[in-house]
């Protein structure tokens, strides 16, 4: 397992947290997702042999947020 931290723009409320955690959490290989609204980051614990960083980024962007 590895943990990655992504900087995400556009998250402002608990709905944003649920949208990001829900979409990323459904990906096979993701075991944990923590959204930090106060600093605009998302920590993702994942198995890189099952899911790529790009797949995580795409899942967040599909919810309407920008990963920088």
CB 45 within 8 A of CB 5: no
Considering the domain delimited by 2-67, tell me its CATH architecture: 2-Layer Sandwich (3.30)
pLDDT score at 2: 96
Residue 7's pLDDT band, with cuts at 50, 70 and 90, is very high
Residue 66's pLDDT band, with cuts at 50, 70 and 90, is very high
pLDDT in tens, 8-62: 999 999 999 999 999 999 999 999 999 999 999 999 999 999 999 999 999 999 9
pLDDT score at 39: 95
pLDDT score at 55: 97
């Amino acid at each position: 397992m590895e943990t990655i931290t992504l900087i995400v723009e556009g998250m402002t409320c608990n709905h944003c947290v649920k949208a990001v955690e829900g979409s990323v959490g459904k990906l096979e290989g993701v075991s944990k997702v923590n959204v930090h609204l106060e600093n605009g980051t998302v920590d993702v614990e994942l198995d890189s042999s099952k899911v790529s960083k790009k797949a995580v980024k795409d899942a967040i962007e599909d919810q309407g947020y920008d990963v920088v």
